[in-house]
């Protein structure tokens, strides 16, 4: 249901929302969001054309959100890069289904409509404020200062399975 482009765009927007008004460079965004740098350029250009981010050139340039995260919905981001599919006519091209969808395709389309509705009601700022979930994009130890000063951010601790004694 979600394309990889949607996933990448949501990562980028969420990351930029963590630091409103502070330009983030492509390399920084790519590193933190784990979006391939070549593909990141395409995503950022699409988000810029949609009016969701602004890019500024130069030494102190980078990308920022074009409006507050409270005014950007998840659906805005998805619609900008790769809209959810909707069924407008019978995908099987069955005669008689061109005006009215069959019950199966009608229900599938209704499900997509409910997903769109939920995403339209979910702002990026709400995602960041959700205390019931892990914070998007970053561990607490990971911070922008470490990335912009080229210090190595703390690495996540990976627990290794306990070894069983040999009998």
Delimit the domains of the chain by residue range.
4-84+123-148
- pLDDT confidence bin for 6, thresholds 50/70/90: very high
Query: Could you tell me which residue, 164 or 137, shows the higher pLDDT?
Result: 137
Contacts for 6 with CB less than 8 Å, ≥ 6 apart: 77, 78, 81, 82
Query: Could you tell me which residue, 39 or 145, shows the higher pLDDT?
Result: 39
Residue 81 is predicted with a pLDDT of: 95
Strand partners, 24: 63
Query: Could you tell me which residue, 144 or 89, shows the higher pLDDT?
Result: 89
Residue 2 is predicted with a pLDDT of: 78
Pick one of 1.10.10.10, 3.40.50.720, 3.40.190.10, 1.10.10.60 as the CATH number of 4-84+123-148: 1.10.10.10
- pLDDT confidence bin for 135, thresholds 50/70/90: low
Biggest CA pair distance of the chain: 71
Least confident of 6-10, 35-39, 136-140, 154-158: 154-158
Query: Hey, which bits of 31-139 come out as E strands?
Result: 53-56, 62-65
Residue 102 is predicted with a pLDDT of: 81
Question: Would you say the C-alpha torsion 43, 44, 48, 51 has a positive or negative sign?
Answer: positive
What pTM was estimated for this model as a whole?
A: 0.74
Task: Please compute the mean of the pLDDT values over residues 129-154 and round it to a whole number.
Answer: 50
Task: Please compute the mean of the pLDDT values over residues 103-114 and round it to a whole number.
Answer: 88
Contacts for 72 with CB less than 8 Å, ≥ 6 apart: 13, 17, 52, 65, 123, 124
Task: Please compute the mean of the pLDDT values over residues 65-80 and round it to a whole number.
Answer: 96
How far apart CA 45 and CA 33 sit, in angstroms, is 16
């Amino acid at each position: 249901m979600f394309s990889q482009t949607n996933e990448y765009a949501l990562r980028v927007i969420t990351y930029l929302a963590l630091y409103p008004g502070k330009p983030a460079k492509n390399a920084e965004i790519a590193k933190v969001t784990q979006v391939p740098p070549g593909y990141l350029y395409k995503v950022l250009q699409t988000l810029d054309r949609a009016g969701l981010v602004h890019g500024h050139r130069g030494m102190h340039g980078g990308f920022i959100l074009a409006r507050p995260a409270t005014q950007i919905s998840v659906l805005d981001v998805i619609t900008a890069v790769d809209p959810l599919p909707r069924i407008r006519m019978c995908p099987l091209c069955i005669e008689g289904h061109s005006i009215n969808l069959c019950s199966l395709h009608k229900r599938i389309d209704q499900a997509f409509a409910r997903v769109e509705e939920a995403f339209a009601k979910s702002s990026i700022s709400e995602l960041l404020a959700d205390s019931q979930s892990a914070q998007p994009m970053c561990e607490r130890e990971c911070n922008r200062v470490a990335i912009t000063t080229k210090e190595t951010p703390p690495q996540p601790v990976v627990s290794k399975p306990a070894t069983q004694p040999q009998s």
